[in-house]
Structure 1
Amino acid sequence: MFARLQDVTALLGRLAVATVFLAHGLEKWDAGVSETAAGFESMGIPLPTVAAAFTILVEVVGSIAFIIGLALPLVGLGYAVVGLGATLGVHLEAGLTGQGGYELVLVLAGAGLALGFNGGRISLDHLLFWSKRKRERVGESEVQPA
């Protein structure tokens, strides 16, 4: 029972984190890579076109993958990188709290990273990879060396 509750709460956490990243990503998607890169450049973010394309990819495609539970560790790392970039490039000067502070970015990046490596069993990753490994281990233990 407790394991099921853990899986449900991990799913709810993934949905919450992915929804916020997806909302921000769709804004950038609508603006386009060029406009997003121009905004990044005005903030002093290095390689603004690469950063814009990476951020849009992580926030849109990564969030969809995060919701369905696919490539969770990869997306979690992507969220951490985007969060670190947003903190250093945009929010750091404002401090932790207050107008423009980095508290939300910090929480989202940390939660995304944690859920990326602990996303629960209600995920495609678990269905496709972990269940297969478990079946293989059970098969190996049934074969006893002579």
Structure 2
Amino acid sequence: MFARVKDVTLLLGRIGIAVVFLAHGLQKWDNGIAGTAGFMEKVGMPMPTVAAIFAIAVEILGSIAFIVGFLTPLVGLGYVVVSIGALLSVHIDNGLTGQGGYELVLVLAVAGLALGFNPGRISLDHALFWRKRENRQAASGDALLTA
């Protein structure tokens, strides 16, 4: 019972984090690559066009992948990179809390990273990769018990 509850809460966590990143990615998409790159250049981000494309891809495509639980460690790392860029270029001068502070950026990055490396059993990663590893480990454990 506890394992099911844990897996559902991990799924809900992934969905919650992904929805926030997806909303920001769709805002960037609406502004276009040029508009997003222009903003990034204005706040002093290096290689603003590359940064804009990366942020849009992570926040839209990565969020879709995060919701279904596919390649979650990579998406979690992508969330951290995007968040560090936002924190250093936009939010750092506003402090941790208050208007424009970086508390939300920090929480999203850390939660995305944590969930990326532990997406739970309700994920494509588990179905495609980790279940096979668990079966191999169980089989090798059974072989040790019978030896």
TM-score (norm 2): 0.93
CA distance in 2, matches of 1:42, 1:129: 42
Stretches (4+) displaced over 3 A: 137-146
- Aligned residue for 1:128, secondary structure, equals helix
Q: Who is 1:79 aligned against?
A: 79
CA distance in 2, matches of 1:2, 1:134: 19
**Paired amino acid for 2:63:** S
Q: Who is 1:56 aligned against?
A: 56
Q: Who is 1:135 aligned against?
A: 135
Please identify, of 26-35 and 67-76, the stretch whose mean Cα deviation from structure 2 is larger.
26-35
What percent identity do the matched residue pairs reach? 64
Q: Who is 2:68 aligned against?
A: 68
CA distance in 2, matches of 1:42, 1:141: 57
Q: Who is 2:14 aligned against?
A: 14
Post-superposition CA distance 1:65-119 (Å, at most 9, x none):
0000000100000001111110001000011111111011111111101100111
CA distance in 1, matches of 2:104, 2:28: 18
- Aligned residue for 2:132, secondary structure, equals helix
Post-superposition CA distance 1:12-60 (Å, at most 9, x none):
0000000000000011112111110001001111110111010001000
CA distance in 1, matches of 2:3, 2:135: 19
- Between Structure 1 and Structure 2, how many residues are aligned? 146
**Paired amino acid for 2:23:** A
**Paired amino acid for 1:119:** P
Q: Who is 2:39 aligned against?
A: 39
**Paired amino acid for 2:60:** V
Root-mean-square deviation (CA, aligned residues, Å) is 1.6
Structure 1: any 5+ residue segments left out of the alignment?
Answer: none
- Aligned residue for 2:70, secondary structure, equals coil
CA distance in 2, matches of 1:56, 1:137: 38
- Aligned residue for 1:118, secondary structure, equals coil
